[in-house]
Amino acid sequence: MKRVLIIAVALLFPVLGWSAVDTTYPNDEIEIDWDDKASMQRGARTFVNYCMGCHSASYSRYNRVGRDLGIPDKQVLENLIFTTDIDGEKTKIGQLMKTTMTPAYAEQAFGVVPPDLTLIARSRGVNWLYNYLRGFYVDESRPMGMDNGVFDKVAMPHVLVELQGYQQARKAMRPDGQGGEHEVIVGFDIIKPGSQSKSEYDQTVFDLVGFLDYLSEPYRQTRINVGKGVIIFLFVFLILAYFLKKEFWKDIH
């Protein structure tokens, strides 16, 4: 028993040490409100204007997104579809949300093909995305002139920089959990403002992440509503079954 306890403590100690270290910045938490369709509509607008130049959402269709978020087809065509096919014809509303950038061009320009973002909120999580999109800072040593407090040595350019502006990282020494110290980011200072204030930019990112969360599982709200209905039905059925049981057994007792 003593040996098992020692092994358990030995395995747990690195985990505790790691969790005590601030390894990324920012590290805020958010909660997406799936009933706030206006927020997701704004997120869809940001996505098609700033993200779809490189990234696709190729498991989603424009008309399905419009229907789920309460956007009429006419507004989807006018405000969310800016891509064309190889013949120059505008993308139809029933087509998949694909970027027009070819994989060959993307690899030549960036060295890697930008990933499809349909399921990014499920693979990374909404908190990671929210902090990542707010974590870009100026670093002249990087090829793009930017690094990220959440994704070190990031290769993606800061496509929202005109909104957020340019910020500089404030760093400090913190314990590394192994008896030493390492440098971590503790804050940012705006050195060139963007078109939005900090609160406005945070809201823009929140809206965008909410839309990406929707893309990752568009049936979630339906699933939750159906689940609630099933639970209510089973509860009512339980009450009826209980009284039916009492009625059947009253003569026996």
Longest distance between any two alpha carbons in the chain, whole Å: 87
What is the spatial distance between Cα 168 and Cα 189, in angstroms, rounded to a whole number? 5
- For 58, phi then psi, to 5°, come to -75, 5
Local confidence band at 55 (pLDDT 50, 70, 90 cut-offs): very high
Predicted pLDDT of residue 248: 83
Taken in order of first residue, the domains within the chain and their CATH numbers are 2-218 (1.10.760.10)
User: For 157-182, how does the pLDDT look when each residue is reduced to its tens digit (9 = 90+)?
Assistant: 999 999 999 999 999 999 988 889 98
Local confidence band at 136 (pLDDT 50, 70, 90 cut-offs): very high
Per the CB < 8 A criterion, the answer to whether 202 and 133 are in contact is no
Residue 215, class by beta-carbon neighbours within 10 Å (0-12 exposed, 13-18 middle, 19+ buried)?
buried
**pLDDT at position 197 over 60:** yes
> Structure pTM?
0.83
* DSSP SS3 for 163: helix
User: For 234-245, how does the pLDDT look when each residue is reduced to its tens digit (9 = 90+)?
Assistant: 999 999 999 998
Residue 71, class by beta-carbon neighbours within 10 Å (0-12 exposed, 13-18 middle, 19+ buried)?
buried
Local confidence band at 217 (pLDDT 50, 70, 90 cut-offs): very high
Structure-token pair, residue 79: 């405000």
Local confidence band at 253 (pLDDT 50, 70, 90 cut-offs): low
Closest CA to 201 of 171, 233, 158, 170: 158
**Sign of torsion over alpha carbons 33, 39, 167, 157:** positive
CA atoms within 13 A on the CB side of 239: 5
What is the spatial distance between Cα 58 and Cα 201, in angstroms, rounded to a whole number? 26
- For 95, phi then psi, to 5°, come to -85, 165
What is the spatial distance between Cα 231 and Cα 20, in angstroms, rounded to a whole number? 40
Look up tokens 């993307």; give the residue: 106
**Sign of torsion over alpha carbons 177, 179, 185, 187:** positive
- For 24, phi then psi, to 5°, come to -135, 160
Which residues, in sequence order, are CB contacts of 219 under 8 Å at separation 6+?
A: none
